[in-house]
Structure 1
Amino acid sequence: MGDFYTKAAFSFFIAFGVVLGGTLLAGIGSVFLMTPPKEKMIQVASNLKIWALVAAVGGTIDPIRVIESHLSAGYFSPAVQQIGYILFAFLGAHMGTELIQWMNRTGG
């Protein structure tokens, strides 16, 4: 079970990092392009959320295939693990988006 927690934590932090890093770099880019960074950062964070999830779970359709093949064979544990990884990745992407929105609200 320790391996599950390790992979779930990596899924969380990868998704969180994709959203946070991509949004902060978009904010820097918008400063160089002389566009308002606040609006651009919120837009980019929302757009990156799904891609952060995809990047964290492997970037392919394999997790969905694992869920389908194991459920149809009657093995629930691997399917539940994959769903857990997806949920942790979603939580990381969502928390990254919320952090960017909070920073923009409190930053003036």
Structure 2
Amino acid sequence: MGNLLTKMITDYMIAFGVVLGASLLAGIAATLTLQPPSFTMQEVAKNVKIWAVVVAIGGTIDPLRLIESNVVDGHLSPAIKQILQIISAFIGAQSGTTLMLWLSNGGNSS
């Protein structure tokens, strides 16, 4: 269980960092090219979210194959662990996106 928790926290932080880093660097690039950085940061945060999940889980289709093969073989525990890791990565990407929207004032409805 400790290894699973470690992997979930790592996946969360990787996905969070991918969104955060990509958005911040896109904001810098927008500033250098005289574009509105807040809009650019918001768009990049939204668009890079799925890729952050892919990066966090390993960047390949193997985790999905692992789920499929374990379910077919009747071994649910490894499949559930892999699904939890994917969910953790998604939550990290969503957290990063939400933070970037707040930081760039995109979360402000007024």
* TM-score (norm. length: structure 1): 0.96
Using the TM superposition, give the Cα deviation of residue 105 of structure 1 relative to its aligned residue in structure 2, in angstroms. 1.6
Using the TM superposition, give the Cα deviation of residue 28 of structure 1 relative to its aligned residue in structure 2, in angstroms. 0.4
Q: Secondary structure at the match of 2:16?
A: helix
Structure 2 counterparts to residues 1-108 of structure 1, below 5 A: 1-105=1-105
Percent of aligned pairs sharing the same letter:
50
Counterparts of 1:64 and 1:83 in 2: how far apart (Å)? Answer: 9
Q: Secondary structure at the match of 2:58?
A: coil
5+ long unaligned stretches in structure 1: none
5+ long unaligned stretches in structure 2: none
Regions of 4+ moved over 3 Å = none
How many residues are matched?
107
Contact 2:57-2:85 at 8 Å conserved across structures: yes
Contact 2:38-2:105 at 8 Å conserved across structures: no
